[in-house]
Amino acid sequence: MEKKSYYWIIVLVGLVMGIILALQFRVTSNIARNAPAVDRPIALARELEKARNSRDQLQKKVDELRERLDQAAASPELARVKEELDRAREQAGLTDLQGPGVEVTLNDSSNELQPGDNPNFYVLHDGDVLSIINELKAAGAKAISINGRRIITTTEVRCIGPTILVNKNQRLSPPFIISALGDPDTLANSLKMKSGVVDSLRVWGIQVDVKKVDKVVIPAYPGGLVFEYARPKN
């Protein structure tokens, strides 16, 4: 009887020990599984050091480029190129200009239409405006505008009914105020010469007023310059 009891005690103790060992193994496994890997912090430290080195190299490159940019900005060659660019923009009509010049005001004839007369002779046409512009250019006008619209090399002046069209989409109606920048005496005299453009317009009663002014403001051309077919010659 005592041997049998002893036997059951040993079995019971073994069972308890097995349960304890199983629980200890599970807890140890969970701790090992949830614990961060030892090599993870080392890998992160290496990545951080690599990023710092890359940052330092980039900063060095930035400093070198900034130094080169400062040297280029202080170069006389850059100043010369900028001066040429500004002069080209001015000649292309892309900058505002002001100075002495003339203002020419054109309006339809105030004469009463006589029977049998052609009414087209008593109203302004694109040809009349072009005659004034061409005469001013020939007299040395540096810049010209019509009713505040800049005239450049590609500007067209076309009749659209009782109005004229300039710069492809700007429709203007009389009176037309043509402003020209240049020597006032030379510009005015070119228009007022005997049998000149002004005299030919006044024959039909076209109203023409030429006024010398100390300050003419010519605005910049607001559109873009796109050459579809023209290319620089190599």
* pLDDT tens sequence across 94-147: 899 999 999 999 998 877 777 767 777 778 889 999 999 999 999 999 999 999
Claim to verify: residue 105 and residue 209 sit in the same structural domain: yes
In the chain, the percentage of residues whose pLDDT exceeds 90 is 33
pLDDT at residue 37 in the model: 53
Question: Is residue 57 situated within a structural domain?
Answer: yes
Claim to verify: residue 56 and residue 19 sit in the same structural domain: no
Helix locations, the chain, DSSP H: 2-34, 39-73, 76-92, 126-138, 184-192, 197-202
Q: What is the C-alpha separation between 105 and 208, in angstroms, rounded?
A: 6
Q: At 2, is the pLDDT very low, low, confident or very high (cuts 50, 70, 90)? A: very low
Residue with the bigger pLDDT between 203 and 98: it is 98
pLDDT at residue 193 in the model: 92
The model scores a pTM over 0.85: no
Q: What is the C-alpha separation between 214 and 102, in angstroms, rounded?
A: 8
pLDDT at residue 38 in the model: 55
Q: How far apart are the first and last CA of the chain?
A: 120
Do the Cβ atoms of 157 and 136 come closer than 8 Å? Answer: no
pLDDT at residue 90 in the model: 86
The pLDDT of residue 191 is above 70:
yes
pLDDT at residue 102 in the model: 97
Structure tokens at 102: 């003339």
Claim to verify: residue 104 and residue 204 sit in the same structural domain: yes
The pLDDT of residue 46 is above 60:
yes
Claim to verify: residue 117 and residue 46 sit in the same structural domain: no
Range(s) of the domain holding residue 1: 1-26
The pLDDT of residue 153 is above 80:
yes
- Of 29-33, 49-53, 176-180, 218-222, give the lowest mean pLDDT range: 29-33
Please give the tally of structural domains in the chain: 3
Quickly tell me which residue has 């008593």 as its tokens.
122
Question: Is residue 173 situated within a structural domain?
Answer: yes
**If you average pLDDT over every residue of the chain, what do you get?**
83
User: Angle formed by the axes of helices 126-138 and 184-192, to 10°?
Assistant: 130
Claim to verify: residue 129 and residue 199 sit in the same structural domain: yes
Claim to verify: residue 60 and residue 109 sit in the same structural domain: no
Q: At 149, is the pLDDT very low, low, confident or very high (cuts 50, 70, 90)? A: very high
* Tens digit of each residue's pLDDT (9 = 90 or more) over 60-103: 888 888 888 777 777 777 778 788 888 888 888 889 999 999 99
Claim to verify: residue 192 and residue 110 sit in the same structural domain: yes
